[in-house]
Amino acid sequence: MSDPEIFTELTRLLGEGRGAVLCTLIEKTGSGPRDTGAKMLITPDGGTVGTIGGGGMERRLIREALEALREGKPRTLTFALGLQPEGDAVPVNSKCGGTVKIFLDVIKPEPRLIIIGSGHIAKPLAELAAMTGFDVTVVDDAATATRERFPRAELRTGPFEEELERVEVRPSDFVAVVHGETGYELAALRSMLRRGPAYIGLLGSRNKAAEHKRQLLEEGFPREEVDAIQAPIGMDIGAETPEEIAVSIVAELIRARRRG
């Protein structure tokens, strides 16, 4: 498969909010099945596009790539193809008689934050999130959801529950429910749980979080997914003002993003 086809598939995956690992042969000594520059894409489910040589080398590459994708960090592997391995080289049963070095580049989509609510905390949250590299979408039908208050965000201001269902939710997305009204919060949590973003956080007290989670469990949502809701959202830094609370939320989002 050609490089353009590999990059077309990578673009498609990123558009769906999924990452991938691009493996590139960066160094070869002696004989090997492919030349320097050969590429292979490894998808989140372990599928491959293109080839670097097949066999045991690619099977090991797939395992390493999936681990690198989970960690969010690139790595380099050296394979000894039918030779006695030196250093940290990985031995491969092959008749080639050379060594190859492969760079595994972890490529992830741009982070996106879906903010549900448009009140006092949503405004500085949107500003700080945009400053730290998130594409921001705000969902709310309140009068506070205006372009003046959210100049850098995509606004979804139609009927609330309709907009919840219309907004695209990708596996890599982060969701912050900061609305404040019980009915709206539960509607948002139901909608987001059904579509599985990377992170869901809820603003409010521990008691409110416990009550909301109890309600969701009674409605049949899986315990593992309900327990994964981060509530109260935000790192514990003693925040009190809306701006301080927004800082605590963005700090938690950055930590979650960096940890993959």
Tens of pLDDT, residue by residue, the chain (260 residues) = 678 899 999 999 998 888 999 999 999 888 777 889 999 999 999 999 998 877 788 888 999 999 999 888 899 998 888 777 777 777 777 777 778 899 999 998 888 999 999 999 999 999 999 999 999 999 999 999 999 999 999 999 999 999 999 999 998 899 999 998 999 999 999 999 999 999 999 998 999 999 999 999 999 999 999 999 999 999 999 999 999 999 999 999 999 888 76
CATH numbers and ranges of domains, the chain: 3-107 (no CATH), 112-258 (3.40.50.720)
Pairing type for strands 39-42 and 112-116 reads unpaired
Q: Residue 196 has which token pair? A: 């599985």
Q: Are 40 and 25 in contact (CB under 8 A)?
A: no
Cα–Cα distance measured from residue 158 to residue 145, given in angstroms and rounded to the nearest whole number:
10
pTM above 0.85, yes or no: no
3-state secondary structure of 158: coil
Tell me the C-alpha distance between 201 and 177, whole Å: 6
Neighbouring C-beta atoms of residue 168, cutoff 10 Å = 11
Of 72, 76, 70, which Cα lies nearest the Cα of 104? 76
Q: How far is CA 120 from the centre of its chain?
A: 27
Cα distance between residue 39 and residue 41, in whole Å: 7
